[in-house]
Amino acid sequence: MNRIRLLGQWLDDRLALGRLYEHTIGHRIPASSASWWYVFGSATLVCLIIQLVTGVCLALVYVPSPDDAYASLEYLDYEQPFGWYLRGLHYWGSNFMVALVTIHMVQIFLFGAYKYPRELTWMVGCALFLATIGMAFTGQTMRFDQDAYWGVEIIVSILGRLPGVGEYATHLLQGGPIVGAETLSRFFALHVFVIPGALIGLLVIHIRLVLVLGISEYPVAGKHVEPGAYRDDYEGVVEKTGIRLMPEGGGKDLVFGALVLLAIVLCAALIGPKIPNGPADPTLIQTVPRPDFYFLSLFAAFALMPPYLETVVIVYVMPLAIVLLFAVPFISRGPERHPSRRPGAVIAVTVVLLSLFTLAWEGVQSPWSPDMDAWSGVPVQPRFVRGRSPLAHAGATILQAKQCRNCHALDGAGGKRGPDLAGVATRLTEDQLIRQVLQGGGNMPAYGKHLAPHEVTALVAFLGTLHPENQPPARSAASSSSSPTGFPEPR
Amino acid sequence: MIPRLTLLCLVVASTFACDGLPGRPNPDDRYQRPEDVKDFGALYATNCSGCHGATGQLGPATPVGDPLYLALAAPEYLRTIIAGGVAGTAMPRFGQEAGGTLTPEQIAILASGLGARWSSREAEKLAAKAPGLVAPVGGAVPGHDGQVERGRGVYGQFCASCHGPDGRGGEKAGSIVHAAYLGLVSDQGLRTTTLVGRRDLGMPNWHDLGQRPMAPGEIGDVVAWMASHRAPAP
């Protein structure tokens, strides 16, 4: 025992470990900062460590070339013992990291912890947030599957809209004029060298700032931050009621960090990694690419906004939003820190989060994308077949064969781009149905040139049967016929 | 010391048990390029179920899951239709050579898989008594006047009780002489429906239609009569 102690003392003497401890995890923090609200930053760090360790392990197997990347992923998933688990840890680690860094930012914002003197801590934190998002995106690209391919296509399209530099930025990122052999190498370099390097450098500055400026004390309503007096006040608080970060103050961080670790381990074991959804091959048309969850909001926003807004958003709104994010400490300079005295901040957070979640939900549903296999793969439900005439049956086959189902669902089954057709006969008369099919309108193209008269008649006969049993079909007031198709109402 | 060792062993053992956890990717869910799909169920669901129904019945198109139909339709016949479609109807050409998406191998899997999944011994016995699914070559020319006249009579005897006295629809079933319907169905389609029926929708097959089974010639006659109502496409 004595020898170990001697060795310890020798190391301490040479490395000054005791002083290092005093100035880092042993430094004194206000007792009020040892709160469950203050655990998200350290939990993000836990994720980063998991990502670094699992990332290095993955890099031992992963081949960053377009020809082999996908195959090496399949090797990890299906051949290598625990390869899938390693991928699961890295995948869920990234999900948790993005989520936790966001929660950390929201907490800092709501608690006004970015205010004097911690403006720079906030700004470096914003850069860390962007680096994390960059890691997430380049990581999604590493799968080099359909999601990755189309994700890159979208990002370079966004970059390409930037005036002046767009073309060069696109070329630089893709390693050429199109997404090709060089592109994956560029993203690999970004994912394992450039962004992690920047991230670790920024993290060092971030932690240095936290140590130098101290962890903000728990906000108290009415207690003001006055730039002249704040530092003395803070030092006084630390002097009087301060506790050491370790071991007294950091217990909650340790517990929460362990819970995050456990959650990642469990998610990886029980849900597993994201299975690559087909090689990055633009000739595969039967594909439904979707970004990972952190980009669903952006995906939905661009899908839903009118085309004339896209360039405005890319060139002005998005850069402005980033500048605003960095400038938060200089815009919000009021002395209050407690959220109950800062309704504007609470409203801003609520609106932003609600918008992001709503857009992400829309992104999951993505009703704007036609279901390209619905015409041949989503059956006409038997209740829409029974009791119909042969003509209506022929119309139903036209509905399928002309791919109407890709955009129009029948009672929820099928594409969601156009209105659901179950019950369409109660909304449109026979004439209106014919006009809509022939001329289109709203978002619907005109099908007049693609349908023979027989086909239109049959299709409209089928559509005319799509009404609830106890609700008659819509009928033009000018028409005397009781049936839209000239034969007795189908049963 | 021993409990710790046991604990360590348990942890190591559970780590190896990990490989059977639900998160482990199932090789069956592995992505396949569309042209590599060889499973009948997947091919049928993706390409056929839209019109022919999830179980091969109760869809708007020919009930390819009807055991009687499958007993009558040879895989070669089905293969031709799947690959080349049926001109003038909604049945598209699925063969790659015809601009579709299915490889010859996939079409063969579909053609033989239909029978393997849905055929029945009972239907095969019934089919042995049936006239051929395809009209015999060299038979009466469809649309020939005499044949049409005979067909009108056959119609009155076997079909009118449901489809109405003149074919324009009755109490139990809709019109079979509507020009638009006839414009979207082939003569073979009319023959198939007459022969096989739509038992999923309540229409009997040729054997159970009336007091006695329809004779082979009568099927040709009634098809000719229905086809005579075709109007040239405007």
User: In the prediction, which pLDDT does B87 show?
Assistant: 92
Pair of tokens at residue A379: 């059956």
Asked whether the beta carbons of residue B47 and residue A376 sit closer than 8 angstroms, the reply is yes
Alpha-carbon distance of A414 to A435, in angstroms, equals: 23
Interchain proximity B18–A74, CB inside 8 Å: no
User: CB count, 10 Å around CB of A204?
Assistant: 11
Q: How far is A443 from chain B (nearest CA, A)?
A: 24
Nearest Cα neighbor of A88 from A51, A63, A62 is: A51
Mean pLDDT of all residues in A466-490: 69
* Contact across the interface for A396 and B25, Cβ inside 8 Å: no
Q: Are the Cβ atoms of A390 and B53 closer than 8 angstroms? A: no
pLDDT at B135: 76
pLDDT, tens digit, 9 for 90 and up, residues A272-317: 999 998 998 888 887 888 999 999 999 999 999 999 999 999 999 9
The CATH number that domain A374-463 falls under is 1.10.760.10
- Which 8-state DSSP code applies to residue A227? T
CA distance A145 to A291: 11
CB contact under 8 A, B201 and A386: yes
Domain ranges, ordered by start, for chain A: 17-365, 374-463
Q: How far is B177 from chain A (nearest CA, A)?
A: 9
Q: Measure the CA–CA gap between A375 and A392, rounded to whole angstroms.
A: 17
Across the interface, whether the CB atoms of B60 and A396 are under 8 A apart is answered yes
Nearest Cα of chain A lies from the Cα of B130 at a distance, in angstroms, of 23
Q: How far is A11 from chain B (nearest CA, A)?
A: 31
Question: What's the gap in Å between the CA of A464 and the closest CA on chain B?
Answer: 14
Instruction: Give the tokens for residue A230.
Output: 């704040």
Residue type, B131: P
Q: Where are the alpha helices (DSSP H) in A60-174?
A: 69-74, 83-110, 119-142, 146-160, 166-174
SS3 A121: helix
pLDDT of residue A228: 87
Which residues from chain A sit within 8 angstroms of residue B48, using beta carbons? 376
- Is A82's CB within 8 Å of B233's CB? no
Q: How far apart, in whole angstroms, are the C-alpha atoms of residue B164 and residue A204? A: 87
- A4 phi and psi angles, rounded to 5 deg: -65, -45
pLDDT of residue B136: 65
Half-sphere exposure of A433 (CA within 13 A, CB side): 29
Distance CA A176, CA A179 (A): 7
Superfamily of domain A17-365: Cytochrome Bc1 Complex; Chain C (1.20.810.10)
Q: How many CB atoms lie within 10 A of CB B129?
A: 9
Q: Find, in chain A, the residue whose alpha carbon is nearest to that of B35.
A: A284
**H or E segment and range at residue A196:** helix A195-213
pLDDT of A486: 44
How far apart are the CA of B175 and the nearest CA of chain A, in angstroms? Answer: 7
User: Quick one: pLDDT at residue A268?
Assistant: 96
Provide CB contacts within 8 A for A102, sequence distance 6+.
Answer: A129
Angle at B34 between CA A444 and CA B24, to 5 degrees: 110
Would you call A397 and B175 a contact, using CB atoms and an 8 Å cutoff? no
Out of A49-53, A152-156, B1-5, B161-165, pick the least confident. Answer: B1-5
Q: What is the pLDDT of residue B207?
A: 93
Q: What does the pLDDT read at residue A485?
A: 47
Q: For A268, which residue in chain B has the nearest alpha carbon?
A: B23
DSSP per residue over A65-88, as a string? STTTHHHHHHIIIIISTTHHHHHH
Please name the residue ranges forming H helices in A24-68.
40-59
pLDDT digits over A160-215, tens only? Answer: 999 999 999 999 999 988 888 899 999 999 999 999 999 999 999 999 999 999 99
> Could you say which of B31, B47, B53 has the minimum Cβ distance to residue A382?
B53
pLDDT computed for residue A481 by the predictor: 54
Give percent above pLDDT 70 in chain A: 97
From B21, B27, B46, residue closest to A269, measured CB to CB: B21
Do residue B180 and residue A374 have CB atoms under 8 angstroms apart? Answer: no
Inter-chain touch B46–A277, beta carbons under 8 Å = no
How far is CA A160 from each of CA A244, A456, B4, B36, B101, rounded to the nearest angstrom?
A: 51, 43, 60, 36, 34
- Is A394's CB within 8 Å of B185's CB? yes
Are the C-beta atoms of residues A103 and A283 closer than 8 Å to each other? no
ipTM of the complex: 0.91
Burial A155-190 (b: 16+ CB within 10 A, else e): bbebbbebeeebeeebeebbbeeebeeebbebbbeb
Q: pTM (2 decimals)? A: 0.86
When pLDDT is cut at 50, 70 and 90, the band that residue A478 belongs to is: confident
Mean pLDDT of B71-75: 94
Choose the closest CB to A393 out of B22, B23, B60.
Answer: B60
Average of per-residue pLDDT across B28-55: 94
Q: What is the mean pLDDT of residues A3-31?
A: 92
Q: Tell me, what's the pLDDT at B9? A: 67
* Angle made by CA atoms A96, A100, A104, in degrees to the nearest 5: 175
Cα B209 to the chain's mean position, in Å? 20
Instruction: Report percent pLDDT > 90 for chain B.
Output: 74
Asked if residue A488 has pLDDT above 50, the reply is: no
Cα distance between residue B113 and residue A477, in whole Å = 52
Please name the residues in contact with A317: beta carbons below 8 A apart, sequence gap of 6 or more. none
- Give the per-residue pLDDT at B16: 56
DSSP-derived secondary structure for A339-381? GGG-HHHHHHHHHHHHHHHHHHHHHHH-TTS--TTHHHHSPPP
Q: How confident is the model at residue A442 (pLDDT cuts 50, 70, 90)?
A: confident
Are the Cβ atoms of A487 and B169 closer than 8 angstroms?
yes
Residue A243 phi, psi dihedral angles, 5° rounding: -125, 160
Count interface pairs A-B at CB distance under 8 A: 166
A326-379 confidence digits (pLDDT tens): 999 999 999 999 999 999 999 999 999 999 999 999 999 899 999 999 999 999
CA distance B232 to B223: 17
**Domains within chain B, CATH numbers bracketed:** 37-127 (1.10.760.10), 141-227 (1.10.760.10)
Q: What is the reported pLDDT for A489?
A: 47
Closest CA in chain B for residue A377:
B46
Instruction: State the pLDDT at residue B14.
Output: 65
Average pLDDT over residues A64-93: 94
pLDDT of A491 above 50: no
> Across all residues in chain A, what is the average pLDDT?
93
Give ∠ CA A443-A449-A450 in degrees, rounded to 5.
85
